[in-house]
Amino acid sequence: MSNQKTEAYARALFEIAQAEGSLERVEDELFRVARAFESNDQLRSTLTDSTLPADRRQQVVEQLLGGKASATTVQLVSMLVTSGQVKEMPVIIDALVKRASSEKSQEVAEVRSAIPLTDDQQKRLAAALTKATGKALNLKVVVDPSVLGGLVAVVGDEVIDDTVRTRLDQLKTRI
């Protein structure tokens, strides 16, 4: 997918969410959906299966997100599925998140953790990363059991990695 097309879809999602007045929540929910789409093979193969009718895949989205995400989020994901852009969903959503962050003069900080972070932990983590990078950050936390423990934060090109997985990889390399 071209950058222009990605940006066009991202702008459309952004404007819809903004018009609905739930940009921050939608953006956060879409970010989680994108990460789940990336990490869950079954979900990805189901939503990208062209042999399944679009309305069936839309039903799957509604069953998965219904009650857990806002109606706007569900509608936006359904729109991407029915328009045949589901394969590019993570890229589009990342562009949306980046655009939303830019609107707030923030930079996206993607943090992966083995366990869900509490609000307090997220606030302290955002403050710590802001202090470390010197940038206003839009924190996005992804629960990723593969990191085993600890956190890895990606802010732009900067990576702050203190995960058990990375330490094990280093240990494996040393062995």
Footprint of another protein (CB under 8 A): 113-115, 117, 121, 124-125, 127-129, 131-132, 134, 148-151, 153, 160, 162, 164-165, 168, 171-172, 175
Considering the complex, state which of residue 1 and residue 127 has its C-beta at the smaller distance from another protein.
Answer: 127
Supply the minimum distance, in Å, between the C-beta of residue 119 and another protein.
13
Considering the complex, state which of residue 32 and residue 165 has its C-beta at the smaller distance from another protein.
Answer: 165
Considering the complex, state which of residue 30 and residue 151 has its C-beta at the smaller distance from another protein.
Answer: 151
Supply the minimum distance, in Å, between the C-beta of residue 1 and another protein.
34
d(CA 151, CA 115) in angstroms, rounded, equals 9
Lookup: tokens for 161: 């990695």
DSSP secondary structure letter of residue 69? B
Supply the minimum distance, in Å, between the C-beta of residue 132 and another protein.
5
Considering the complex, state which of residue 67 and residue 134 has its C-beta at the smaller distance from another protein.
Answer: 134
Supply the minimum distance, in Å, between the C-beta of residue 110 and another protein.
14
CA triplet 154, 141, 11: central angle to 5 degrees? 80
d(CA 27, CA 161) in angstroms, rounded, equals 25
Under 8 Å between Cβ of 87 and 44: no
d(CA 154, CA 123) in angstroms, rounded, equals 16
